[in-house]
Amino acid sequence: MTQDAIAIRGLVKTYPAHAGAPEKQALKGIDLSVPRGSVFGLLGPNGAGKSTLINILAGLVVKSAGSVSIWGFDQDRNPRQSRAAIGVMPQELNLDPFFTTRAALEVQAGLYGVPRAQRRSDEILAMIGLSDKADAYARTLSGGMRRRLLLGKALVHSPQILVLDEPTAGVDIELRQMLWSNIRKLNRAGMTIILTTHYLEEAEEMCDEIAIINQGSLVVRDSTANLLGRLDAKTMVIHPETTPDMLPQGDGITSELRDDGAVALRYQSRSVSAEAVLAAVRAAGITIRDVKTEEADLEDVFLSLTSGAHGI
């Protein structure tokens, strides 16, 4: 039995020319595997190819070339089994306004062939906090409640893999916390989670591994910790006793005065030591009241990779 929840090899998607526009290659030979039981981040700027990749996994878009295996089932040879192994919570609010929340889950379960005796509609409604809205029509729900219902629909057939496409876009803090609490519970129970998000702090907090796609190609795939470690830029923040007359200077050191009066000194730890930075501070006649360092975050890594910068 394979240890990968998803295995993608040489995945290509080319959209044909249309209305005078040339053909577009949305995916350019993607090779990617997602370990079972992980929380896996799929990141990239708008137009990178993330949605095309997710739609191919969901069976909504036909690939041009390559192979896709979902939970050990080849998508071409075993399409029904591969689709049954995955649930997708889309970014768009695609709900039938004339169904109640319970009916929406029942219909979705029926589409997946889940027998009535095995359906978990009320259990799912309780998990997503919509038990009191079981008989309310979808059109009467708030935006946040509709997003919860999308999560419920993705879970009706008990998939081994759950794909979340921008799940917290435009939602309030309370709903975001509730959503992530549910996702952690599902993951602890063994479900593999694939997350796309523009909130990089979410990916940094939630994901075990991250893949970054840009212009249809896989730029990098690594553990979250390793990605953060690849960018060794550090910032030493000095809070001086008084406003300095001059900013520290030194080879490999850039400094700026922040609005709160702190002096921020940025340097590469591979080539500049912390002692050299402190020496530059002393040479500028600055008396230190407090000092701290700031490490690179995922946004720094993301921007460095997708902007074509090198040297990380």
Q: What is the pLDDT of residue 172?
A: 77
Q: What is the pLDDT of residue 308?
A: 56
Q: What is the pLDDT of residue 1?
A: 45
For 232-295, CATH number out of 3.30.70, 3.30.420, 1.25.40, 3.30.1490 equals 3.30.70
| Global pTM value | 0.77
For 4-228, CATH number out of 3.30.1130.10, 3.40.50.300, 3.20.170.30, 3.30.1490.190 equals 3.40.50.300
Please give the torsion angle defined by the CA atoms of residues 178, 179, 180 and 181, in that order, rounded to the nearest 10 degrees: 50
Q: What is the pLDDT of residue 295?
A: 67
Q: What is the pLDDT of residue 218?
A: 94
Q: What is the pLDDT of residue 311?
A: 38
Domain residue spans of the chain? 4-228, 232-295
pLDDT < 50 stretches in the chain: 1, 309-312
